């Protein structure tokens, strides 16, 4: 009996060994062929995506800070006609891998789908030209990209991958521009110790010091700016450290520069500022220790300011975006507050400015956090739309001011119902959502970082009046984004909703609140008690 079973087992074992050896040999032979074919397909896709390219140079995502995790590969063209990126985003059936070419101005040249597992007949439209062609020429706003019924997840995954590609482009292109300047520009001479006229204020004292028409050299200007900046940087650093990534799941620390527009003298919180500016003294970079803060000072070479710099602007430090602020503007704002300009109802004379700096700083991280940076204005230019926006803002403010949970819930339900009626009439959903995310979340962040609970409530109480004082329909739409987004965020907090870490480009804050409160039906507009939200006063102001 034993002999009967042993022989078949030996034969089977021998067969397995022979087959395994054959497969191993075949794999050794065919693997390079398969890899070469895959490489050829990839190169063909790259040349099809950027047909004007003569060659490609691989770029490592690990060499840059802030590259989205969806980015799989990056290339720059050897003849400087653009960049190429491969990214993968989670769709309905699995990862969707796309390839896109971007020109040097940040616009999509061409895009295509490399691989996906979406449902045939529904999700495979991402391979078709009618869909892919919609992206050509776009730079940041993909709200009008059409899809087919039942395939929103697939469409959003493709858009998310494209947004991440443009985020990566901004980072890589910014470094390339700087490196090119560093290679081609003539060395900057030591600073010109020019005598000039300026007005200074004592930022840390109740008395404002006027020094009209007093001549000062640039070293004194640097001392003023360094002292001024040290206080700002210290408070910002403390706020960022205290948050420690809790609010949005990412650290909010960014490079900040306070710059004198007259002399280009500056102070910054980053030690590697020499990658942007120049040494202030020949052969020596100046680091100043003021109280508990370290400030780095220098003189910015003429002609190297960010092109969009006025009151503030944005620039790059070794691939990370930072923010520039005008020293003169911050001083003037301080002066306004000291002498009775309390529009924002913030008592601490520096908190208003700090909140503004925190706001702009958040914008440099916003694309990485939620895939949003910039938005189109909602098409809400009619008188009735304006009235509706004011009523919704007032209802949200009413809800946040309410001590009663029941009153807060009623006002929140009213705000959502007013919003629903307006959106049904004007079909403004997408633009409203995006501007509330883009600007409203920046306002929400600045308040949470810089102000105390009492200060936040003082600001909120003022918002209804501030919004009602707007006399321009375009500014009203912008103001709605700033105020509305922040109010929805704070209202979600007040109801104990965990919402921040799920925010993305497609988030509708009102819908999140509606689902959290389990509101299934909206109140008809004519059944809402609008007088509690100042309806008669709004009508009188708008139509008066």
Q: Other C-beta atoms within 10 Å of 47: how many?
A: 16
Strand order in the sheet with 265-268: 286-290, 293-299, 265-268, 256-259, 320-326, 312-317
308 pLDDT above the threshold of 70: no
Rounded Cα gap, residues 191 and 280, in angstroms = 7
* Neighbour-count burial for 122-160, b at 16+ CB within 10 Å, e otherwise: ebebbeeeebbebbeebebebeeeebeeebebbbbbbbb
Close Cβ partners of 60 (under 8 Å, ≥ 6 residues apart): 74
Rounded Cα gap, residues 382 and 473, in angstroms = 8
pLDDT, residue 277, reads: 40
In terms of phi and psi (left: phi > 0; alpha: psi -120 to 50; beta: otherwise), the region of 408 is alpha
Lookup result for tokens 């309905």: 92
Half-sphere exposure of 348 (CA within 13 A, CB side): 14
Rounded Cα gap, residues 407 and 398, in angstroms = 9
pLDDT, residue 452, reads: 85
Residue ranges in 376-505 assigned as alpha helix (H): 383-401, 405-426, 429-435, 441-450, 453-468, 473-494
Rounded Cα gap, residues 96 and 113, in angstroms = 7
332 pLDDT above the threshold of 70: no
Tokens read off for 128: 């078709």
For residue range 412-453, list pLDDT tens digits in order: 999 999 999 998 888 878 888 888 998 899 999 999 998 888
**Residue 472 burial (10 A CB sphere; 0-12, 13-18, 19+):** exposed
Band of residue 221 on the pLDDT scale cut at 50, 70, 90: confident
pLDDT, residue 411, reads: 96
Rounded Cα gap, residues 147 and 108, in angstroms = 19
Rounded Cα gap, residues 165 and 304, in angstroms = 27
Q: What is the mean pLDDT of residues 118-134?
A: 83
Q: Which of 115, 48, 117, 116 is nearest to 84 (CA)?
A: 48
Lookup result for tokens 């990056």: 74
pLDDT, residue 542, reads: 76
pLDDT, residue 315, reads: 65
CB 308 within 8 A of CB 282: no
Rounded Cα gap, residues 315 and 364, in angstroms = 9
For residue range 148-179, list pLDDT tens digits in order: 766 778 888 888 888 888 888 877 876 665 45
Q: Which of 481, 496, 304 is nearest to 405 (CA)?
A: 496
Residue-averaged pLDDT of the chain: 76
Is the four-CA dihedral 30, 32, 35, 37 of positive or negative sign?
negative
Q: What is the DSSP letter of 438?
A: I
* Helices 351-370 and 327-338, axial angle in degrees (round to 10): 130
Could you tell me the CA-to-CA distances from 440 to 193, 311, 393, 431, 461 in Å, in that order? 43, 20, 13, 13, 17
2 pLDDT above the threshold of 60: no
Close Cβ partners of 249 (under 8 Å, ≥ 6 residues apart): 369, 500, 501
Residue ranges in 118-197 assigned as alpha helix (H): 129-132, 152-184
CB 544 within 8 A of CB 430: no
34 pLDDT above the threshold of 80: no
Beta bridge partners of 197: 215
Band of residue 347 on the pLDDT scale cut at 50, 70, 90: very low
Rounded Cα gap, residues 301 and 265, in angstroms = 9
Q: Other C-beta atoms within 10 Å of 234: how many?
A: 17
Could you tell me the CA-to-CA distances from 170 to 107, 283, 461 in Å, in that order? 11, 32, 38
pLDDT, residue 54, reads: 86
pLDDT, residue 300, reads: 64
Tokens read off for 289: 């220790």
For residue range 390-411, list pLDDT tens digits in order: 999 999 999 999 989 999 999 9
pLDDT, residue 282, reads: 32
Tokens read off for 59: 């770029």
For residue range 191-205, list pLDDT tens digits in order: 333 333 333 333 333
* Helices 383-401 and 535-543, axial angle in degrees (round to 10): 150
CA 478 to chain centre: 17
Which of 141-155, 181-195, 224-238 has the lowest average pLDDT?
181-195
Gyration radius of the chain's alpha carbons: 29
pLDDT, residue 21, reads: 62
CB 89 within 8 A of CB 105: no
The gap between the terminal CA atoms of the chain, to the nearest Å, is 108
Q: What is the mean pLDDT of residues 517-524?
A: 94
368 pLDDT above the threshold of 60: yes
- The helix/strand/coil state of 250 is coil
Which of 247-256, 327-336, 447-456, 492-501 has the lowest average pLDDT?
327-336
């Amino acid at each position: 009996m034993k002999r009967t079973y042993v022989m078949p087992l030996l034969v089977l074992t021998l067969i397995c060994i022979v087959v395994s050896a054959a497969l191993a040999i075949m794999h050794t032979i065919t693997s390079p062929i398969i890899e070469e074919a895959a490489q050829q397909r990839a190169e063909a896709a790259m040349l099809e995506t950027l047909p004007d390219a003569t060659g490609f140079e691989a770029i490592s995502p690990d060499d840059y800070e802030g590259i989205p995790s969806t980015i799989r590969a990056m290339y720059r063209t050897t003849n400087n006609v653009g960049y190429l990126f491969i990214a993968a985003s989670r769709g309905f059936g699995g990862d969707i891998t796309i390839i896109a070419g971007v020109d040097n101005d940040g616009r999509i040249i061409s895009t295509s789908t490399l691989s996906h597992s979406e449902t045939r007949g529904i999700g495979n439209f991402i391979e078709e030209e009618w869909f892919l062609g919609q992206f050509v020429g776009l730079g940041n706003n993909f709200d009008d990209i059409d899809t087919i019924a039942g395939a929103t997840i697939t469409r959003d995954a493709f858009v998310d991958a494209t947004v991440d590609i443009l985020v990566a482009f901004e980072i890589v292109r910014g470094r390339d521009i700087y490196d090119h300047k560093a290679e081609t520009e003539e060395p900057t001479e030591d600073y010109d110790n020019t005598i000039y006229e300026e007005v200074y204020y004592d930022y840390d004292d109740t008395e404002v010091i006027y020094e009209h028409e007093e001549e000062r050299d640039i070293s004194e200007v640097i001392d003023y700016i360094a002292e001024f900046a040290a206080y700002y940087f210290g408070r910002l650093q403390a706020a960022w450290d205290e948050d420690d990534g809790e609010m949005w799941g990412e650290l909010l620390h960014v490079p900040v520069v306070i710059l004198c527009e007259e002399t280009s003298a500056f102070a910054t919180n980053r030690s590697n500022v020499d990658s942007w500016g120049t040494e202030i003294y020949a052969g020596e970079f100046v680091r100043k220790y003021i109280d508990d803060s370290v400030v780095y000072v220098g003189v910015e070479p003429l002609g190297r300011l960010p092109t969009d710099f006025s009151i503030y602007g944005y620039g790059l430090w070794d691939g990370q975006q930072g923010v520039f602020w005008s020293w003169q503007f911050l001083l003037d704002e301080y002066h306004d507050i000291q002498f009775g300009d309390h529009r924002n109802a913030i008592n601490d004379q520096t908190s208003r400015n700090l909140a503004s700096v925190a706001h702009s700083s958040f914008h440099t991280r916003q694309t990485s956090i939620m895939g949003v940076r910039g938005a189109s204005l909602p098409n809400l230019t009619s008188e009735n739309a304006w009235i509706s926006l004011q009523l919704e803002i007032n209802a949200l403010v009413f809800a946040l001011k309410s001590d009663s949970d029941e009153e807060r819930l009623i006002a929140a339900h009213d705000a959502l119902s007013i919003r629903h009626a307006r959106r049904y009439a004007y079909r403004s959903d997408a633009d409203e959502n995006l501007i509330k995310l883009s600007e409203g979340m920046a306002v929400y962040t600045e308040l949470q970082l810089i102000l105390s609970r009492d200060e936040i409530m003082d600001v909120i109480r003022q918002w209804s009046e501030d919004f009602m004082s707007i006399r321009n329909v375009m500014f009203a739409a912008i103001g709605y984004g700033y105020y509305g987004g922040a109010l929805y965020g704070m209202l979600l907090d007040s109801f104990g909703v965990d919402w921040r870490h799920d925010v993305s480009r497609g988030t509708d804050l009102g819908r999140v609140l509606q689902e959290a409160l389990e509101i299934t039906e909206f109140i008809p507009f004519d059944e809402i008690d609008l007088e509690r939200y100042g309806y008669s006063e709004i009508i009188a102001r708008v139509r008066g």
